[in-house]
Structure 1
Amino acid sequence: MKSKSEKSTTDQRVTLVTTILAAIILLALLVWGGKILWLRLKYTYTNDAQVSQYINPVIARVGGYVVDVHYKDHEAVKRGDTLLIIDNKEYKYEAAQASASIRKEEAEINVLSSQKQILQEEHESLLKSISASEANVKKQQLEYDRYKYLYNEKSATAQQLEEVEAKLEVYKSELATLNHKLEASAERVQDVDVQKRVIGAERNRLTAAAGRKHLDVGYTIIRAPYDGFMGKRTIEAGQMVNAGEVLGFIVNTETPVWVTANFKETQLRYLAVGDTVEVVADAYPDEIFQGKIISISPATGASFSLLPPDNSTGNFVKIVQRVPVRIELAHTVAVHKLRSGMNVNVSVPKQ
């Protein structure tokens, strides 16, 4: 049995230890509370913030049979890397057919060009024949005028005059026929030009169609549009895909990472575009990421919701609204550590 003095000594020691522990805890709480108070006085703070990045779908521009997939889940890819390959045999055949149609139209244009050249040569030959015929008519006209004079002077017979006149009429008829042929020749040349324009327009249409077919051939190889990380792989070789179908998702790492921080409306007076921001991610509590406010939303988050609240219904309860603020982070550091959707804490120094 302990004596009464020993029990008193033990109680005193327990009381001392308890007092010291309580004092240490109280001091720690005071330091922690003072630090939090100092931070709240110096910084505008929110923990309602998430990391954001551009996450875009990889879409098939043509349909077909998937023959190969070149990426794995969450794999890093570079701009232009091949992601998927769709069987392109049908598209190649269609492109070859369109190209053959173009060559056919070009051959027809060449044939018409040859016809036009022949018609132009015939036209020039007719011009020469008309010149000769005009000379014959002119010569025969002079002969007729001479015989008519001699006939009037009783130096030539009526038969001679009639023969000269008949020959003149023959020459005139031949000249009229040649002129008619010349007009027809000119019209045939014009017809060839019209046909060439029609075929040329058709060739241009087929050229555009062939270009579209060749584009489809290129679309059968689906490439990464930019540097980034692929999401979960949901497509496999052997599947049939349709044009416009989503084949996967890619996270863009070429653009800066940003944080969407939802500040209370009562904190907006401390914020301005261009302010420096300190961001601490829950995943890296000992590392501070520097950022800058890029924009402040023109309305509260509730205003942009699918069913915004209607305070005129009589059920009004005043709730502090939050306003989204976009904060852009340093690209080189944040892009390799932070992931879209991560929770972060944001502190903005008060001015």
Structure 2
Amino acid sequence: MKTNENYTNTDRLITKITAWIATGIAVALAIWGVITLFQLYRYEETNDAQIEEYINPVTSRVTGYIRKIKYEENEAVNKGDTLLIIDNSEYELQAKEAEAALANARAQIGVLQNDVQSNAAVSVVTQSQIASAKARLLKQQQDYDRYAALYKVESATKQQLENSKAALDVATAEYRAAVDNYQASLSKVEAIKSQKGVYEAEIKRREALLDRNRLDVGYTIITAPYNGKMGRRTIQEGQLIQAGQTLAYIVDQEAGKWVIANFKETQVSTMRINGLAEIMTDAYPGQVFKGKIVSLSPATGARFSLLPPDNSTGNFVKIVQRIPVKILLTDDKAKLENLKAGMNANVKIKKD
């Protein structure tokens, strides 16, 4: 009988403990349920979200062999830091050739100016020859007029008159030749001056070509476009690269970080620009990051896919679509330092 009483007391104790545990579990479940319902009522949540940053390719603008690589994988770089150097021997030679061609074109302008001055001097000499020829023509005209008057009164022979007429004709021809030579010298001066525009245009073309060659020389040194962190290195020194070839990837640390959260279409009706958000990542589950909504996608994610769905084909199955929401992380840079692009995140946005 004593054994039965002991068993009964133990059973009662177990029953009480079980009841207390069950009550505790029920209370915990109730509290959890209330919190969950409160969260569902006050917040929209999704675990379909990733951390994003600008990851841009570093490309070459010229073709050549890599002479020196000055960065390592995952290395932090500052804007303007030299990433790699391409052999510029050929581009230097092209630049020197362009410089020589430009110097030659400028020298032609000097030659042209000398030609203008020389022909201008010739025209001055020709102008003085016109004056001399005109004076001789006037003298021969006077002599001819005198002989003609004397011939009428039979004081001069016909031969003298004819000789005077011949001398007058020669003086007239010489005068006309001097005038024609003067006009020709003036025309030549104008023709030479008109060539100046051609040479000046050639100089501008040569200057542009030289600038282009100097740009090519400058392009052989590739620098970091902004403060960032280099990605995986896939090139080696001595490797031949082509213009436009992607050489590396750099993560932009100046543009900040954000989250692309893909909410269901039934969740976005209460979301507004500048709405506050809380972000937790799988990598750091104990940390809460702050953010604000900066934009909502103009279309569902499916519409931006390579092969967007076409429900008019007859294979319609209603699927809840996702709307990408961009959320800018607003914490200080030190807190966001460990967040990397592509990390998974959970996002919670308070309903308006």
TM-score computed with the length of structure 1 as normaliser: 0.91
Which residue is 1:254 aligned to?
A: 254
Amino acid at match of 2:39: L
- Name the structure 2 match of 1:291: 291
Aligned-residue sequence identity (percent) comes to: 47
Give me the CA root mean square deviation: 2.2
CA contact 1:256–1:331 (8 Å) conserved in 2: no
| Post-superposition offset of 1:140 | 3.3
Partner of 2:213: 213
Correspondences of 1:1-351 after superposition (within 5 Å):
3-330=3-330, 332-333=332-333, 335-351=336-352
Q: The residue matched to 2:266 in structure 1 has which SS?
A: helix
* Runs of at least 5 residues in structure 2 that lack an aligned partner in the other structure: none
Residue by residue, what CA displacement relative to the aligned partner does 1:142-180 show, whole Å, maximum 9, x if unpaired? 443344334434454444433433332222111121222
Query: Could you tell me how far 1:99 is from its partner in structure 2?
Result: 1.1
Aligned residues: 350
User: 2:134 and 2:29 mapped to 1: Cα distance?
Assistant: 125
Instruction: Supply the AA of the counterpart residue of 1:176.
Output: R
Q: Secondary structure at the match of 1:247?
A: strand
CA separation of 1:42 and 1:187: change in aligned 2, threshold 3 A: same
Q: Cα distance, 1:25 vs. partner?
A: 2.7
Q: Which whole-Å CA distance do the structure 1 matches of 2:91 and 2:331 have between them?
A: 41
Deviation at 1:335?
Answer: 5.0
Q: Which amino acid aligns with 2:213?
A: K
Closer/same/farther in 2, CA of residues 107 and 166 from structure 1, 3 Å limit: same
- Does the CA contact (< 8 Å) of 1:253 and 1:335 recur in 2? no
Structure 1: unaligned runs, 5 residues or longer: none
2:125 alignment partner AA: S
8 A Cα contact 1:257 1:331, kept in partner? no
Give the superposition deviation at 1:100: 1.1
Cα offset, 1:246, TM superposition? 0.8
Supply the distance in 2 between the matched residues of 1:348 and 1:321 (Cα, whole angstroms): 18
CA shift, 1:251, in A, is 0.9
Classify the secondary structure of the residue corresponding to 1:118: helix
Secondary structure, in 3 states, of the residue corresponding to 1:222? Answer: strand
2:230 maps to a residue whose letter is M
Deviation at 1:298, TM superposition (A): 1.8
What per-residue deviation string (whole Å, max 9, x for no partner) do you get for residues 3-42 of structure 1? 3333333333333333323332332222222222111111
Q: 1:332 to 1:219 in 2, by over 3 A?
A: farther
Structure 2: distance between partners of 1:39 and 1:146: 133
Hey, what's the Cα distance between the residues in 2 that align with 1:131 and 1:23? 135
For each residue in 1:32-88, what CA deviation from the matched residue of structure 2 results, as whole angstroms up to 9, or x when unmatched? 222221111111222211111111111111121111111111111111110001111
Q: What is the CA-CA distance between 1:337 and the residue it aligns to? A: 3.4
- Check whether the contact 2:289–2:331 (CA below 8 A) recurs between aligned residues: no
CA–CA separation in structure 2 for the residues paired with 1:100 and 1:78: 38
> CA shift at 1:331, angstroms?
7.0
Equivalent position SS for 1:105: helix
Hey, what's the Cα distance between the residues in 2 that align with 1:163 and 1:154? 16
Distance 2:58 2:120 in 1: 59
Farther off after superposition, 180-189 or 81-90: 180-189
Is the 2:262–2:322 Cα contact (8 Å) retained in structure 1?
A: yes
Shift of 1:259: 1.5
Using the alignment, how far apart are the partners of 1:293 and 1:273 within structure 2?
5
